[in-house]
Chains A and B, each alone.
Chain A
Amino acid sequence: MSEDDINEVIIIGSGPSGLTAAIYCARANLKPIIIEGEPSSTSDQPGGQLMLTTEVENFPGFPEGILGPELMTRMRDQALKFGAKFITNKAVKVDLKDKIKRVWISDDTNTEYLAHSVIISTGAKSLMLNIDNEATLLGYGVSTCATCDGFFFRNKTIAVVGGGDSALEEAIFLTKFADKVHIIHRRDSFRASKIMQQRAMSHEKIDIIWNTEVKKINGNSKLESITLFNNVLNKEYELDLDGLFIAIGHSPNTEIFKDQILMDENGYIQTNNGTKTNLDGVFACGDVQDHIYKQAITAAGSGCAAAIDAERWLNNNLN
């Protein structure tokens, strides 16, 4: 191992927070390496959660809105322009406790990367219902990606499970194709923003099923129906469906950091004093350390902060 092999900074994850950190680190001439993740049909992919959405209407600077994947491609191009280096793999193992940090990736030889500092921006992954048949019928009526699969449900009856902004947005998007979209929510009110609630609740194709949980997914080679449980009436019943879209929230991608980085009881990384974690030279930004705001712009903002924190730390500790 030669000194040349030790990078100044490795950024793990390439959502808005990781890419903003990449832009700042690259402009500061830190030659960042970004372990950007691997393709998937969930939000755990290069570009992160916004790769699965359509219009982003609240990112400042785009009064006419911008498509999520386009916004992320532009952020990546901006980082590339300043010399950031991207590795299209996942980090599968890390050792962050020592002075020199090690990160192993998911290629066939588990290549190891070394750095003086690490920025964690692994964001959050979508939760699944974890009930029988969900995994086997994924792609056969059950979906985690409305923008990919909505097309196959033209003139069909479908349901979206969830009550946050992403669930309502998916439901509204899916009305372009489906005849009827049920939103199934286990409480009696949504946590989504007012504007989304208004749009969903006033939509003629959308029907909301309150206080209700999905108990079973039924069908052999494709989805046929789901069994619902109304938790107020204590009543179970079946609903015939062609498609079921799952949007029940997110949990932080922090498995590989367990036992090294301090987290709260839900697995969010704890930061203090800006973006610092409990380990010297390790910083965290975006949804992986934020269970409150969870927005593209707050993720990007904290990515900028992490890059500045890392740069200062490198200046103080390496020179």
Chain B
Amino acid sequence: MITNLDERSFDEILFGSELPVLIDFWATWCGPCKAIAPILEEIDLEYKDKLSIAKIDVDQNQQTATRYNVQSIPTLILFIDGIEKARIVGSMGKQALLQKLEGLI
């Protein structure tokens, strides 16, 4: 299960996680976000030991979205020790997404 963060738990996971953290910036009204959600669930299960995935609703947490300059959703940001290592903008298939994460996790 991918947890839904708020502004406070966002910082907790970002700086508290041992694993790289992939955050999915999404919203309920965004179709391409819905399409990528089941793919993230699959990757979450398969890569449990390598990656921790969480999501944050930009509608409810506009400050966080603004802080990270997110202007398009879905946007996935990969953080390692709280530092942004990669940013993936737009929905895509599983193979394409794994390719983008390759070498980073």
Report Cα–Cα, A89/B92, bound state, in Å.
10
In the complex, the answer to whether A152 meets B70 with C-beta atoms within 8 Å is: yes
In the complex, the answer to whether A147 meets B31 with C-beta atoms within 8 Å is: yes
Q: Which of B32, B35, B71, B93 contacts A140 (CB 8 A)?
A: B71
Nearest CB to that of B27 among chain A residues? Answer: A151
Count of CB-CB pairs between chains A and B under 8 Å: 82
In the complex, the answer to whether A147 meets B69 with C-beta atoms within 8 Å is: no
Main secondary structure of the interface of B (DSSP, over half): loop
**B16 in contact (CB, < 8 A):** no
**A301 in contact (CB, < 8 A):** no
Residues of chain B lying within 8 A (CB to CB) of residue A152: 65, 70-72
Tally of contact residues, A, Cβ under 8 A: 30
In the complex, the answer to whether A149 meets B71 with C-beta atoms within 8 Å is: yes
Closest chain-A Cβ to B46's Cβ sits at a distance in Å of: 12
Main secondary structure of the interface of A (DSSP, over half): loop
Contact A39-B36, Cβ < 8 Å, known A143-B72, A149-B71, A222-B69:
yes
| Stretch binding the partner chain, chosen from A40-48, A250-258, A268-276 | A40-48
Residues of chain B lying within 8 A (CB to CB) of residue A141: 71
Nearest CB to that of A68 among chain B residues? Answer: B31
Contact A148-B70, Cβ < 8 Å, known A39-B92, A139-B89:
no
Closest chain-A Cβ to B72's Cβ sits at a distance in Å of: 4
**B81 in contact (CB, < 8 A):** no
Contact A39-B93, Cβ < 8 Å, known A140-B71, A151-B58, A222-B71:
yes
In the complex, the answer to whether B71 meets A39 with C-beta atoms within 8 Å is: no
**A–B complex contacts, Cβ < 8 Å, 30 sampled:** A38-B92, A39-B32, A40-B32, A41-B32, A41-B72, A41-B74, A41-B89, A45-B32, A69-B34, A88-B93, A89-B93, A106-B93, A106-B95, A107-B95, A108-B95, A139-B72, A139-B89, A140-B72, A141-B71, A143-B72, A145-B32, A145-B72, A148-B30, A148-B31, A148-B32, A148-B72, A149-B72, A151-B29, A152-B71, A222-B69
